[in-house]
Amino acid sequence: MNKAPEVKIIPAFAVPFGASFLADCGQMNAELKKLFLSRETDMYRNKMRNSVEAVGMLNQYKRSRVKEFDVYADAWYHITRKGGCFTNHNHPMASWSAVYCIADGIDDGDTPESGLTRFFHPQTAASTYLDAGNFNMTQAPYGYGHQVFKLNAGQILIFPSWLYHEVSSYMGNSERIIVAVNYWFNHPQMDPQIGPKISSGKR
């Protein structure tokens, strides 16, 4: 009897996330919270919508090359109060984005379903038909469900800017404060046509 051919599993179309917690960030978060709350006025309101290690690792760049990157960033913050949410959106014209949680509001009247950062599965037809052959394929990288995070204070999350996401209605009694960032990366030896030419804003 001939031996059955070996089946190789190919993890196609996986979406990478980077997640971490900052150590000893309590004092910094408290100071940032105080600063952001003091600027919760029309004067400082953003009127336009416009991790380096993880990026280098995913692109298989050597550490020495990553150090040569010109890294550009645009950052802003959100103060979300009870009932606030963010509808489905992505961050165009950037390669990577990140969110950092300063205050999560989890211990102040929050509920399990509130303030969830939900990333939508990019393969919109993945769950069109479910039967015994795919029903239990719920684990990454083959899962067909959405990726959901309930951010805690001190947690930072890095994700591809093209990925659509939302934040469900926040029902806590205190403020939920998040810093969001968009990243651009240039390298002197890479074709400048790969990405947008940026003349200012270097961080």
Mean pLDDT of 109-136: 86
* Number of domains within the chain: 1
Determine, yes or no, domain membership for 7: no
CB atoms within 10 A of CB 179: 16
Flag whether pLDDT at 48 surpasses 50: no
pLDDT of residue 196: 45
Determine, yes or no, domain membership for 197: no
What tokens does 28 get? 């910094």
pLDDT of residue 55: 82
Mean pLDDT of 87-98: 93
Determine, yes or no, domain membership for 92: yes
Determine, yes or no, domain membership for 12: no
pLDDT of residue 119: 93
Weakest-pLDDT range from 2-11, 28-37, 93-102? 2-11
Weakest-pLDDT range from 106-110, 150-154, 161-165? 106-110
Range of the domain at 121: 18-44+51-186
Q: Domain containing 73 — which CATH number?
A: 2.60.120.620
pLDDT of residue 51: 67
Determine, yes or no, domain membership for 150: yes
Mean pLDDT of 161-169: 95
Determine, yes or no, domain membership for 191: no
Question: What is the C-alpha to C-alpha distance for residues 140 and 155, in angstroms, rounded to an integer?
Answer: 21
Determine, yes or no, domain membership for 195: no
- Residues 6 or more apart in contact with residue 120 via CB below 8 angstroms: 88, 146, 163, 164, 165, 166
pLDDT of residue 102: 95
